[in-house]
Structures are given as C-alpha cells and as structure tokens.
C-alpha cells in the first residue's frame, strides 16, 4: 500500500487534481539516473556524418528528449527510418513510446509532453526485472530499448551542435 500521493497528482483545495506539468520539467528519479548511467552512451548509434551529408541539422536542432510528445517522437522516428539512419525495429520502439494509453493500447493524448529518456529507462528496468524472472521475450527487448536510449541521447547532442561533425579532413601539416 502506498502512503501519500503517487504519480502526477497534487492537492488543491482538499481535492486531488492531476498536475499537467505546466511548470519546470521534473528531475530524474534516482532509479532513472542509475539506469541511464548503467546504459551509458553509444556515439555510434546514429551516423552523424550521414546526417551532415543529408543536411538534417535544421530538422533536429533543439531536440529535447526530456520534453517531447508521443506524436513528435513518432514523426521523428519515421523520418529517421526513411532516411536510413535507424532500423525498423528501433523506429517502432520509438513510435510506441508514451505514458498514457487507453485499454486498447491507443495513445490517449499524443500531444502531451513526456520525458522519453525517463520512459525508456523505466521500461528497461521493468524488462530487465522480467528477464531475471525468466521471461524470454524480455531478453530480446533489452537491446532495442538500449538502442532507443542511445538514439535519443545522440539526437539531443546532435541538435545542440552547429550542424557539422568535426573531422580531420581539413587538417594538413607542412614541414
């Protein structure tokens, strides 16, 4: 049994009211931080040189995986899959992300913002716990959820850059 408020509910005038998150984004919980640290980073999850070739920086500029809607994430995953930057499975993993679904699995509010990194970290934690309990299906999902986290991290890093991947092509030495 839980004592106190759970989820995104706050008390206003003696009633529990759903907090719609209009304020500052909530910081990661300790478990989410731990999961993201365990997953680490993989700078090779996205081919940024190919992204530079295709001049995609203006499409990715300012991408924030900690404040994204399910609709935006779905559109972005389809865009990246269309450009050949992510696999079909990774695209489907990103497309199906969200935190509010009805009983048929359809997203209730696809325009509601959520923290995609936190979502995938908590899902990965749940999947790993199920894997420990002997769920063989969970074992196959672990690499895909890690890849989704890597892609989100790389998109965030690429979106913060100036649109060019540093290379050593222009460096020449003269003796």
pLDDT tens-digit readout, 69-109: 888 998 999 999 999 999 999 999 888 887 666 666 667 77
Q: Is residue 172 part of a domain?
A: no
Q: Is residue 76 part of a domain?
A: yes
pLDDT at position 26 is 44
C-alpha triplet 103, 128, 126: angle, nearest 5°: 30
**Which residues, at least 6 apart from 15, have a Cβ–Cβ distance to it below 8 Å?**
none
| C-beta separation of 150 from 124 below 8 A | no
pLDDT at position 102 is 63
Asked if residue 174 has pLDDT above 70, the reply is no
Work out the burial of residue 65: count CB atoms within 10 Å of its CB; fewer than 13 is exposed, 13-18 middle, 19 or more buried. Answer: buried
CA distance 36 to 118: 8
pLDDT band at 1 (very low <50, low <70, confident <90, very high): very low
Q: What is the pLDDT of residues 42-59, one digit of tens each?
A: 888 888 889 989 888 888
Asked if residue 2 has pLDDT above 80, the reply is no
Q: Is residue 102 part of a domain?
A: yes
Asked if residue 4 has pLDDT above 50, the reply is no
Q: Is residue 9 part of a domain?
A: no
The count of domains in the chain is 1
Domain with 73 in it: 45-160
Work out the burial of residue 19: count CB atoms within 10 Å of its CB; fewer than 13 is exposed, 13-18 middle, 19 or more buried. Answer: middle
Q: Is residue 165 part of a domain?
A: no
Q: Is residue 51 part of a domain?
A: yes
């Amino acid at each position: 049994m839980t004592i106190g408020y759970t989820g995104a509910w706050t008390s206003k005038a003696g009633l529990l009211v759903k907090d719609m998150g209009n304020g500052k984004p909530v910081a990661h919980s300790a478990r989410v931080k731990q999961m993201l640290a365990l997953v680490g980073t993989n700078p090779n999850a996205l081919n940024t040189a190919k992204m530079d070739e295709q001049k995609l920086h203006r499409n990715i500029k300012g991408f924030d995986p900690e404040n994204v809607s399910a609709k935006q994430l779905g559109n972005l995953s389809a865009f990246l899959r269309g450009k050949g930057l992510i696999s079909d499975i990774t695209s489907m993993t990103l497309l199906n992300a969200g935190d509010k679904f009805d009983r048929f699995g359809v997203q209730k509010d696809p325009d509601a913002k959520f923290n995609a990194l936190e979502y995938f970290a908590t899902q990965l934690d749940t999947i790993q716990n199920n894997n420990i309990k002997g769920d063989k299906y969970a074992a196959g999902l672990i690499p895909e959820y890690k890849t989704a986290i890597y892609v989100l991290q790389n998109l965030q890093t690429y979106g913060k850059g100036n649109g060019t991947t540093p290379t050593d092509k222009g460096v020449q030495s003269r003796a």
